[in-house]
Structure 1
Amino acid sequence: MRISKDTTSETAARIVAPAPRRVCRTLVGMCALALATTITACSVGSSPHGELAQDKQTLASCDTSAPPASDIQIDGTGSSNTKTITEERMTAIEQIVRTTAICSGRVRVSVFSGSSAATATLFDGPLPLHGATDNAKLKRVGAVVDDAMTEIRDAYSPAVVGLKGKGSDITAQYRLAGEWSNQVGEGFRLHLVLLTDGFQNVGIDLGKQAISKREAAELANKTDVPKLPGASVTVAGLGRVSGSPPRSDVVEGLVSFYNALCKKTGAAKCVSVTDYASEGR
């Protein structure tokens, strides 16, 4: 499998409120979250024909040589554990699951807290669409996604309650993503999606004050992460916390740090943003 060595990054510092209609964002080469290459917003109404048309567009853009292995990791610590933020994350997860299913990939969804050991898996497996034709398969997407999301939602709260340890060790999740990608095999492309406020406080503390791009790069350079060549890495929800939001310069420092950390992994696509707006293909 040929792997591009080009690495791009995008930054943003805006929070997008949930739209009144279902929104999908078309992303080239990734199933993740408002964030890893050129995204074209497209509104899909409640009409099943409109949804089917969008699913066909997603299918047409799938990389058949390397289906997505979408690793979605949710920060389960209290700093961002609110009903509103959880629902924003679940909406984003649903779009990723849908795109991954259409593209014949597999999904792992987990929740974490203070270490790589303090992690609980909510869902892990393929999302098979049975049918003799593309249309027949696409008509099953809704049911497959609903089943997966029911399993994820039902497991979420008990998993959060059962997490052991204190603090938020976000950077440790990169290693777990690399290990899972190796288990899945070379036939898939890793799409790591971290849904987190970004406030790492285990080993390093990113919540005390704003840091410059230079300081962020130096800190990332000292942080141990695996090589993830060819992967897409998305960190979404930066600065989205319960209570009063952090200053904009603090959030900008978080964006700089996670972009620099992604660059260190050698990933093909790096996106670090504040919102949870979901993206398709």
Structure 2
Amino acid sequence: MHLTTRTTTDSPRVAPTASPRRVRLAAVAAVTVATTMTACSVGSSPHGELARNKQTLASCDASAPPASDIQIDGSGSSASKTITEERMAAIEQIVRTTAVCSGRLRVSVFSASSAGTATLFDGPLPLHGATDTARLKRVATAVDDAMSEIRDAYGPAVAGLKGKGSDITAQYRLASEWINQVGGNFRLHLLVLTDGFQNVGMDLGNRAISKQEAAELANRTTVPTLSGVSVTVAGLGRVTGTPPRSDVVQGLVAYYDALCKKAGATKCVSVTDYAPEGR
């Protein structure tokens, strides 16, 4: 907001000089007005946080709130600060959507077996308030609290994982067991953050595989039925050091797509980089 001063010449009188105190008060008032106008502008902007949360709320399924199960591969092949921060950014987006939609969240890290899993967070993300706007204004605090708990627990949990392998497919069974425990009308959204290099029971990192080979391998892999579930496997090929060849990554994508389809999931996404989507 720009404040414009106007001078007139229809009066011969000379305006009195403002005292220093009045100048200071005027400056404070101008800053207050500018700050208020800026805050109003941001709050009402379609790019503002409240507006984004309202858009997310409009896409929520009130009859089936999300049960977001985030599984993080804690094996050493993707253990880098950059990859960890990419994963935390993805987790924060899921946490925000889950909170807006009044869902439930579980975040875990895993390694060589289903037994080698540590839970970082497990619980509902309720937002209290008499109106949607009042509840949505609490989203930021809920997200910050959850992310602080997840970040604080992540390092010690990874350090305490048993085994050096990566049993990615076991997480599908754990997700199925968890949603059965949660009960209610929740809809499971499984997000597996991993480089995709399963090396327990099979080795997906030694060569590129074709789509046909990927489908055959997926058919031999035991997974539970995940009807009505949304499954995203993100980070495929993202490793420390030299990245794998593109045909190797394409083979990983084909395998996890085929595995998801075998499980009967409603939605299957297998990608190198996570990108938020409307639910």
Q: What TM-score do you get using the length of structure 2 for normalisation? A: 0.83
Could you list the runs of 5+ residues in structure 1 that have no partner in the other structure?
1-45
Identity among equivalent pairs (%): 81
Q: Which residue of 1 aligns with 2:56?
A: 58
Q: Distance in 1 between matches of 2:204 and 2:121?
A: 29
1:97-134 CA distances to partner (integer Å, 9 max, x unpaired)?
00001101000000000000000000000001011111
Q: Residue 180 of structure 1 is aligned with which of 178, 181, 184?
A: 178
Q: Which residue of 1 aligns with 2:75?
A: 77
Q: Distance in 1 between matches of 2:179 and 2:261?
A: 18
Q: Distance in 2 between matches of 1:276 and 1:70?
A: 15
Q: Secondary structure at the match of 1:148?
A: helix
Higher RCO (C-alpha under 8 Å, 6+ residues apart)? 1
1:184-236 CA distances to partner (integer Å, 9 max, x unpaired)?
11410000000000000000100000000000000000000000110000000
Q: Secondary structure at the match of 1:110?
A: strand
Which letter maps to 1:179? E
Q: Which residue of 1 aligns with 2:104?
A: 106
Which letter maps to 2:122? D
Aligned partners of 1:91 and 1:278 also within 8 Å: no
Q: Which residue of 2 aligns with 1:25?
A: none
Residues 162 and 48 (structure 1), Cα distance of their counterparts in 2 relative to 1, 3 Å cut: farther
Q: Which residue of 2 aligns with 1:226?
A: 224
Q: Which residue of 1 aligns with 2:12?
A: none
Q: Which residue of 2 aligns with 1:263?
A: 261
Q: Residue 277 of structure 1 is aligned with which of 269, 275, 278?
A: 275
Q: Which residue of 2 aligns with 1:134?
A: 132
Which letter maps to 1:242? T
Q: CA deviation at 1:48?
A: 4.9
Could you list the runs of 5+ residues in structure 2 that have no partner in the other structure?
1-40
1:170-192 CA distances to partner (integer Å, 9 max, x unpaired)?
00010000000101114100000
1:230-252 CA distances to partner (integer Å, 9 max, x unpaired)?
00000000000000000000000
Structure 1 segment 4-153 matched on structure 2, within 5 A: 47-49=42-44, 50-153=48-151
Q: Distance in 1 between matches of 2:43 and 2:233?
A: 31
Q: Distance in 1 between matches of 2:43 and 2:219?
A: 48
Structure 1 segment 206-217 matched on structure 2, within 5 A: 206-217=204-215
When you count strand as a share of all residues, which structure comes out higher? 1
Residues 187 and 72 (structure 1), Cα distance of their counterparts in 2 relative to 1, 3 Å cut: same
Q: Distance in 2 between matches of 1:82 and 1:277?
A: 20
When you count helix as a share of all residues, which structure comes out higher? 2
Q: CA deviation at 1:139?
A: 0.3
Q: Secondary structure at the match of 2:176?
A: helix
Q: Which residue of 2 aligns with 1:243?
A: 241
Q: Which residue of 1 aligns with 2:195?
A: 197
Q: What TM-score do you get using the length of structure 1 for normalisation? A: 0.82
Which letter maps to 2:222? D
Rg larger in 1 or in 2? 2
Q: Which residue of 2 aligns with 1:40?
A: none
Q: Secondary structure at the match of 1:193?
A: strand
Q: Which residue of 2 aligns with 1:253?
A: 251
Q: Secondary structure at the match of 1:132?
A: coil
